[in-house]
């Protein structure tokens, strides 16, 4: 079998596809079953541990402009990971469709929805309750006149624990997020979930050690980074995949907290309305999970024939906390000396 074809989209056709999906989902509103027996029987983890799963989804092979297939794959992946025993499941950044920030298309701001009226969040709440899993869900949030790149944290009973809004907003060729998103106003947060204390940040946030440390000092047992990163359209020879992994491995090692990153994979082609190509990005995948020392324990391998890949591993928060305390990194911190970090230019 050959390599799946790239996914292509034009803004107007993408919006039409999204509107059709929203209308379909809003009219159906099917409640999920409360039977999670199969999932519970598969959870034979040692006491005090939990299983985390990272999901990597590819757009390759999805019919052009088809938002619904992204939605179907995301639900299937969550259900498969949960049935296999995962307690905490991370989907990629903005998984409901292609990464739409390749260029400045004002019409695509119509994809933003309030959290309170979002069919994706409502359906994921149902799945969280059905399978008794924690689901951090990435979405394009509209709050009055502000538009955010956000994650809502859904606990294992389907309740919403809160929202994190992306703090660091990139602006470069192919990644023109400052056009679409208001810088987040939530600050770095952790969420007290059924499985433990979970810190979550989003994509470009992962390059900043301050974000990871802020979550760690609040007691995070694990750090999550839903992501969309790949090639650089202005220079196809640039491949940041190894660098991307290493910076997050450093966060895990410096804070002695496991890190999970879920990326997308495959080529997404932005079209002009006449069908000609405007730009493309090839997302490199490489989703991974580290242990508390920064060592990669799971990494997604390339499989052209699979629409999604699931990685999983067992986390033992109490053991990690004991090791972290014994190592003394947080005991020996000197916050009173770090004031220079609150400046832009390093001036005291």
Per-residue pLDDT tens over the stretch 278-322: 999 999 999 999 999 999 999 998 876 789 999 999 999 999 999
Structure confidence by residue, pLDDT tens digits, 214-257: 999 999 999 999 999 999 999 989 999 999 999 999 999 999 99
Domain membership flag for residue 292: yes
Residue 275 tokens, joined: 């069908």
Q: Could you give the number of structural domains in the chain?
A: 1
| Domain limits for position 146 | 7-342
The pLDDT of residue 43: 67
Q: What is the pTM of this model?
A: 0.95
In a domain, 98, yes or no: yes
Q: Name the least confident of 41-50, 107-116, 157-166.
A: 41-50
What mean pLDDT is predicted for residues 81-94?
98
215-249 burial code (b ≥16 CB/10 A, e <16): bbeeebbbbbbbbbbbbbbeeeeeeeeeebbebbb
Burial 101-126, CB ≥16 within 10 A → b, else e: bbeebeebeebbbebeebbbbebbbb
User: Per the domain annotation, does 169 fall within a domain?
Assistant: yes
Q: Does residue 260 lie within any of the structural domains?
A: yes
Q: What is the mean pLDDT of residues 38-56?
A: 79
* Residue 347 confidence (pLDDT): 85
Residues identified as active-site: 93, 166, 203
- Judge whether residue 32 has pLDDT over 60: no
Mean pLDDT of 133-153: 98
Domain CATH code at residue 199: 3.60.110.10
User: Quick check: is 1 in a domain?
Assistant: no
* 348: in domain: no
Question: Where residue 197 falls among pLDDT bands split at 50, 70, 90?
Answer: very high
- Does some domain include residue 347? no
Strand blocks (E) in 132-245: 135-143, 146-154, 160-165, 190-192, 197-200, 222-226
| Domain assignment present for 254 | yes
């Amino acid at each position: 079998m050959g390599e799946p074809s790239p996914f292509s989209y034009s803004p107007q056709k993408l919006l039409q596809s999204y509107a059709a999906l929203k209308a379909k989902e809003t009219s159906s509103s099917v409640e999920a079953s409360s039977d999670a027996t199969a999932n519970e029987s598969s959870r034979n983890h040692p006491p005090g541990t939990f299983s985390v799963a990272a999901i990597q989804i590819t757009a390759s092979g999805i019919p052009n402009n088809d938002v619904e297939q992204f939605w179907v794959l995301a639900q299937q992946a969550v259900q498969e990971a949960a049935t296999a025993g995962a307690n905490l499941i991370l989907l990629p950044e903005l998984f409901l469709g292609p990464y739409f920030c390749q260029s400045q298309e004002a019409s695509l701001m119509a994809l933003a929805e309030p959290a309170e009226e979002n069919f994706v969040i409502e359906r994921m709440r149902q799945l969280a309750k059905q399978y008794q899993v924690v689901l951090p869900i990435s979405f394009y949030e509209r709050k009055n006149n502000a538009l955010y790149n956000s994650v809502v944290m859904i606990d294992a009973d389907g309740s919403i624990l809160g929202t994190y809004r992306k703090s660091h907003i990139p602006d470069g060729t192919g990644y023109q997020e400052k056009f679409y998103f208001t810088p987040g106003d939530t600050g770095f947060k952790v969420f007290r979930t059924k499985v433990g204390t979970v810190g979550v940040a989003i994509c470009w946030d992962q390059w900043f050690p301050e974000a990871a440390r802020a979550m760690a000092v609040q007691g995070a047992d694990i750090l999550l980074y839903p992501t969309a990163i790949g090639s650089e359209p202005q220079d196809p020879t640039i491949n940041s995949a190894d660098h991307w992994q290493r910076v997050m491995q450093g966060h895990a090692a410096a804070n002695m907290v496991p890190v999970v990153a879920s990326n997308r994979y495959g080529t997404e082609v932005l079209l002009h309305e006449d069908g000609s190509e405007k730009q493309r990005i090839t997302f490199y995948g490489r989703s991974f999970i580290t242990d508390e020392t920064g060592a990669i324990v799971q990494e997604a391998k390339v499989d052209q024939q699979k629409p999604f890949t699931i990685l999983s591993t067992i986390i033992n928060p109490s053991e990690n906390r004991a090791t972290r305390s014994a190592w003394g990194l947080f005991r020996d911190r000197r916050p009173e000396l770090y004031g220079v970090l609150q400046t832009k230019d390093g001036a005291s």
